[in-house]
Amino acid sequence: MSNKIYTTRKAFMADIPAILDLINKYAAQGIMLPRTEFELSEFIRDFTIILDGQKLIGCAALHFYGPSVAEVRSLAVDPAYKGTGAGRVLMEAIDREAIDFDLSSLFAFTYVPGFFAKMGYDEVDRNVLPLKAWKDCLRCPKFQACDEIAVLKRLKPEEPRKIEAFPIYAPTIALPKPTGH
């Protein structure tokens, strides 16, 4: 890990081009969902960015699904900065924000569960997550053969292990299981 000092802050509208470039490079590899300028404009307040000096080197969004749970979305670090601790610093900023909002749990869909495990997340069955979280999945070309792994971090471990805090107001349906796990 590098001794480099990175800074994090909430994203501004002026950061949208750099965030789009980073996310959509991963999307072109089939690793993330692509994002549009409109989507980023609409959800810019969800984003935290990490900087090396003035250069944007990573981003992550904290997207709320209720008063106690949020999803970590669009987590991306410039490939040149992988292994430097930048991802950890970014995730620690997301954790602080989630704690400030008094959230009980964070979840994500990922291809790198090992990274999330280092950050305190456990792999879970995707069917325990809020149904609303699947709205982005509906436009994904991998929806019927999803190979992302669902992970969950309990910020308040003293609370019951059951995820009753997720407000799901729809009939229970079986969602696709990951195929590449």
| pLDDT digit string, tens, across residues 104-139 | 999 998 989 999 999 999 999 877 776 655 566 666
Do residues 75 and 108 make contact, with C-beta atoms less than 8 angstroms apart? yes
Is residue 170 very low, low, confident or very high in pLDDT (cuts 50, 70, 90)? very low
In tens, the pLDDT along 155-167 reads 997 765 444 444 4
Whether 72 is covered by a domain: the verdict is yes
CB atoms within 10 A of CB 49: 21
Find the domain containing 15 and state its range: 7-154
Higher-confidence residue of 177 and 6: namely 6
Rounded to two decimals, what is the model's pTM? 0.82
Distance CA 180, CA 93 (A): 30
% of the chain beyond a pLDDT of 90 = 63
**What is the domain count for the chain?**
1
Domain containing residue 104: CATH number = 3.40.630.30
Whether 110 is covered by a domain: the verdict is yes
Whether 73 is covered by a domain: the verdict is yes
Whether 15 is covered by a domain: the verdict is yes
Distance CA 32, CA 14 (A): 22
Whether 77 is covered by a domain: the verdict is yes
% of the chain beyond a pLDDT of 70 = 76
In tens, the pLDDT along 38-97 reads 999 999 999 999 999 999 999 999 999 889 999 999 999 999 999 999 999 999 999 999
Whether 2 is covered by a domain: the verdict is no
Distance CA 16, CA 1 (A): 28
Whether 99 is covered by a domain: the verdict is yes
Whether 174 is covered by a domain: the verdict is no
* Separate counts of helices (H) and strands (E) for the chain: 4, 7
Do residues 154 and 127 make contact, with C-beta atoms less than 8 angstroms apart? no
Higher-confidence residue of 144 and 76: namely 76
